[in-house]
Structure 1
Amino acid sequence: MAELQKDFLFILIKSLTTSEKRQFKLFVNRLGINVDAKFLLLFSEMDKMKEYDENIVIEKKISTKQQLSNLKAHLYKQILVSLRMNPSHQNYRIQLREQLDFANILYQKGLYKQALKILDKTKQTALELDEKSIASEIIDLEKVIESQFITRSIEGRADELIRQSKAISKQNQYTTDLSNLSLKLYSEMLTHGYVKNDEDRQKILEIFNTQIRNIKPVKLNFTEKLWYYKAHVWKNQLFQDYKYTLKYAYLWVDLFHQNPEMIFSHPVWYIKGNTYLLKILFLYGNIDVLEKHFKNFNDTVSSQNFAQNENLQSLIFLTYSNTLMNIHFIKGEFFTGTKLIPEIELKMEKLRDKIDEHHFMILYLKMAAMLFGSKKYRESIHYSMKIIESKGNVQEDLLFHTRILILMSKHESGNDEDYDEFIKATLKFALKMKKPEAFHFESIDFFKNLNNLVLSKRQEAFEAFDQKLELFSKNEYYRRSLLYIDIHGWVKSKVQHVDVIEIIKQKVKYKRK
């Protein structure tokens, strides 16, 4: 994730493009500020640094230690003001708020008719873009003006504003309830992971039903429908109910395709919707459908009309990289997939301050799994250890399955130098998990016993564990556990005496005309 111990101002300066730095200096000069102004000197010095060092700033007498905090705050604000004026960062929300600011200025000068004219035009645009929060602010200002200045511009003006205010208030309530629900479910997923028993399931159902029971989908506009579909996606993800996750992920993405103008108004949620859709299609293993939607996604986000900024580029990178590796996984194209790793790592390094730690670890796990499939066990362990040694907040399930992948790699490579110690460490980790399950301990026992068996007995151990995994796969609460790392596919390959790639190819589903 973005390294919070780093200086925020330094990170902001390092994120600036060459053109943004040039614009900032022009902006400062336009203000008539002396070129030797301290905050400009601070900007130039920090721009030269590879790592932020406060001592350099003080040694060069740009600022005293006592004044530095205020100077940095002033520079931070001036950079943001400059960026706000940059055309590349302009979007309809900034433009709507700018018009609202203009109307406020005109109102304060007593130019009521001019203010109302701007407000009416801006309100119509806000309603067309389903930006009801801004529309609500506009109506509030219209009420203030109308209560002080009788314009007589429209007959029944008061009744019209009251009607609009009530309608938007109702829609905003829907949005608030649904967005709160979606956020709560998303928080449950990140904090506690997927439901592991009936008690967990009942808890999520109570959270969901309390908020959703009063919502009538037919009355929802674009934004409310978007939150409605998100809530259903996250609920079904928690339940590991992929049939309904797929259904609502489709509805989420299709909502944008039915309202194409919203793709460019809400690009983040368009990307996120596709992220979930492509992930669920991967879990279903239907390669034709996955590749079709992947192409549609790439065509859209690379089009000229699609907004381009650092945040969107990092989200697109995550969706693109994860999906591309998933496609290679489905096809069993491990050797081809490993060729993607250097390019993905290079991009990861560039986006290190914009991507959270968890998403980095997901990419590392996929790299490790890809290398395992390519029989590059040493490299697989190397990438797996990046996850184990991470200091970030990584999900327990991901950490456990990374350990399983390491044990698989150690077994295949014959590298049992610290095998027993690693088994003990994995057991210790499982015991500290919030909700360890039978699957975790059965897996540990399997690897623990496997290393102590003579070669003639190992086949029997694989066959016995294969039967246990079959039982786990039929239990809806263990389903997710078997998807992180395809331990079941690996075990089956040992039972059937074939390469694991052959097992994976057996699972691929094609839909041909």
Structure 2
Amino acid sequence: MMKEQKDNLFILVKSLSKSEKRQFKLYVGRLGVNEDSKFLMLFNILDKLSVYDESVILKKGIVKKQQLSNLKAHLYKQILISLRLNPSHKNIRIQIREQLDFATILYHKGLYKQSLKILDKAKTLAITNEEKNIAYEIVELEKVIESQYITRSLSTRADELIAQAKDLSLQNVLASKLSNLSLELYGLFLKTGYVKNDTEHKRVTQYFYDRLPEYDLHKMGFREKLWLYKAHLWYSFLTLDFIACYKYASKWVALFYENKDMIILNPVFFLKGNHYLLEALFYLRHYKKFKETLFNLEEITKEKWFPLDDNNESLAFLYINNNKFNLHFIEGDFKQGLPLIDNVLKQLEKYKNRIDEHHVMVFYYKIASMYFGAGENEKCIVFLEKIINNKSLQMRADLLSFSRILNLVAHYEAGLDYNLDVLIKSTYKFLIKMEDLYDVQKEFIKFLRGLGDIYPQEVKAAFIELHKKLKQFEHDPYQSRAFLYLDIISWLESKIENKPIDVIIRNKFESQVLKTTFN
């Protein structure tokens, strides 16, 4: 099967809504460009194609192969200009930047007073909306103009601008250090996953506090607090401190509800904050709060005032559906969760150019887990193999390793044990190579390795023995992480009690709900 070609211009054209396409053609018309213009003809060809095919474009004869890249670059630029002029894309950030551009043009024309007037309004708007990087640029331009246009008390004005520039610079430096730290921790998380022992815990803790800048919370604005909470959140996730995760994710989300205008200006961070809050609640198994938070998130994204552009729409899909899977996992109603799979797969196709491959693989793992819990092991294997066979993507080590472990269990459950020995060897080799063996995994692999030598009447006793060994890890701060990816304990109990795994998990959930209600 031929791999579908990816082309940035084609993806951009296909991302345009009907109104944006109409806006583009009106924009071209205003330019006074002839209807036979080559870049407009290229636009119409790409609009009609279902997949990018350069040979189809060349057959139309509008351009030679050597000139095609230049024509594509020109069309790409014109589409972006058209989108920038579209009122639906004119958020506060673009408006401020536009005012700065206007002021710069007026300055170069020598119209200093007009330029300063626009800059003053733009600066107020930037500071009010926490756009402090642009605000700093504005102050720097004001300083340049004031040095040439002397009508006020220059010494007072100079002192005012110097103080403002210094204050904005300090805030921008703090925000930059905190955002760098947050990004570094996130990168570490993607590369290595959670800490697995005291040595790793100490290393990550030292890494975090060595890079955490000094700050005064009372002097921090919205943006600086946001990056502070993000940095603490990633440190807490890495070190498996889910209570701290909940604390900082709650602060993150509360920050937006205290500054509701920021939800409109920074919807991506609002969505992400809610997602991490839900993830922390999932790990803590705070069912009631989890369900309430998920419901509130879904409802707020349906509000007319919520800015659901292409990017936000795909992120809302990603985070809401990711956590809908988790809700089914908490409740143990895997069979009831199966209809969610078809919807998610359709939406993944719709958003394929906006959702990165790593998040697609996370969905595949959740789909596989849903099928496994519902007892549909062969379907589970199909999605696990999509992860295991993906050689082009550097995914989280823990996701890869548990995909292979679940693959072994699913093969065993499906009765596909003719090549189980080969699977066990390749999985064990893979895990050793990745240096990602939890004690839970070691015990489980050891058990599966010896399963073929156990007589049928002895299998139940072997399950009981393994269950006893793994139970000791259930509350270990490092080893218990393994059970959040794959509930091996519940699977063993299903084999011992001869009940489906979803019944075991559902009974535990109902017991926990009753316990919480009466306590």
Same fold (TM over 0.5): yes
Whether the aligned pair in 2 keeps the contact of 1:430 and 1:441 (CA below 8 Å) is no
**Separation in 2, partners of 1:479, 1:8:** 43
- How far residue 507 of structure 1 moved from its aligned partner, in angstroms, is 4.2
Superposed counterparts of 1:245-256, under 5 Å? 245-256=245-256
Residue 216 (structure 1) aligns with: 216
Deviation track 1:264-314 (CA, whole Å, cap 9, x = no partner) reads 111111000000001111112222111111122122222111112111111
Residue 500 (structure 1) aligns with: 501
Residue 112 (structure 1) aligns with: 112
Superposed counterparts of 1:61-460, under 5 Å? 61-152=61-152, 156-212=156-212, 214-391=214-391, 392-460=393-461
- How far residue 153 of structure 1 moved from its aligned partner, in angstroms, is 7.7
Whether the aligned pair in 2 keeps the contact of 1:264 and 1:306 (CA below 8 Å) is yes
**Separation in 1, partners of 2:477, 2:509:** 19
**Separation in 2, partners of 1:65, 1:51:** 19
The answer to which of 211-220 and 170-179 deviates more is: 211-220
- How far residue 5 of structure 1 moved from its aligned partner, in angstroms, is 5.9
Distance 1:145 1:512, change over 3 A: farther
- How far residue 225 of structure 1 moved from its aligned partner, in angstroms, is 0.5
Unaligned runs of 5+ in 1: none
Deviation track 1:103-141 (CA, whole Å, cap 9, x = no partner) reads 111111111111111111111111111111011011011
Q: Secondary structure at the match of 1:156?
A: helix
Q: Given residue 171 of structure 1, which amino acid in structure 2 is its aligned partner?
A: Q
Whether the aligned pair in 2 keeps the contact of 1:462 and 1:495 (CA below 8 Å) is yes
Q: Given residue 480 of structure 1, which amino acid in structure 2 is its aligned partner?
A: R
**Separation in 2, partners of 1:408, 1:113:** 74
Q: RMSD over aligned Cα, in angstroms?
A: 1.9
**Separation in 2, partners of 1:90, 1:61:** 37
Unaligned runs of 5+ in 2: none
The answer to which of 402-411 and 159-168 deviates more is: 402-411
- How far residue 434 of structure 1 moved from its aligned partner, in angstroms, is 4.0
**Separation in 2, partners of 1:295, 1:158:** 52
What is the TM-score when the length of structure 2 is the normalising length?
0.94
- How far residue 348 of structure 1 moved from its aligned partner, in angstroms, is 0.6
What is the TM-score when the length of structure 1 is the normalising length?
0.95
- How far residue 71 of structure 1 moved from its aligned partner, in angstroms, is 1.1
- How far residue 344 of structure 1 moved from its aligned partner, in angstroms, is 0.9
Q: Given residue 34 of structure 2, which amino acid in structure 1 is its aligned partner?
A: N
The answer to which of 414-423 and 85-94 deviates more is: 414-423
The answer to which of 428-437 and 460-469 deviates more is: 428-437
Q: Aligned pairs, how many?
A: 511
**Separation in 2, partners of 1:474, 1:88:** 51
**Separation in 2, partners of 1:90, 1:456:** 71
Residue 481 (structure 1) aligns with: 482
Whether the aligned pair in 1 keeps the contact of 2:473 and 2:480 (CA below 8 Å) is yes
Whether the aligned pair in 1 keeps the contact of 2:4 and 2:51 (CA below 8 Å) is no
- How far residue 185 of structure 1 moved from its aligned partner, in angstroms, is 0.4
Residue 58 (structure 2) aligns with: 58
- How far residue 372 of structure 1 moved from its aligned partner, in angstroms, is 1.4
Whether the aligned pair in 2 keeps the contact of 1:446 and 1:465 (CA below 8 Å) is yes
The answer to which of 91-100 and 371-380 deviates more is: 371-380
Whether the aligned pair in 1 keeps the contact of 2:174 and 2:213 (CA below 8 Å) is no
Q: Given residue 145 of structure 1, which amino acid in structure 2 is its aligned partner?
A: I
Q: Secondary structure at the match of 2:147?
A: helix
What percentage of residue pairs aligned between the two structures are identical?
Answer: 47
Q: Given residue 420 of structure 1, which amino acid in structure 2 is its aligned partner?
A: D
**Separation in 2, partners of 1:213, 1:138:** 26
Whether the aligned pair in 2 keeps the contact of 1:240 and 1:479 (CA below 8 Å) is no
Whether the aligned pair in 1 keeps the contact of 2:191 and 2:397 (CA below 8 Å) is no
**Separation in 1, partners of 2:44, 2:254:** 47
**Separation in 1, partners of 2:403, 2:149:** 68
**Separation in 1, partners of 2:502, 2:65:** 61
- How far residue 50 of structure 1 moved from its aligned partner, in angstroms, is 1.9
- How far residue 202 of structure 1 moved from its aligned partner, in angstroms, is 2.3
Residue 465 (structure 2) aligns with: 464
Q: Given residue 293 of structure 1, which amino acid in structure 2 is its aligned partner?
A: T
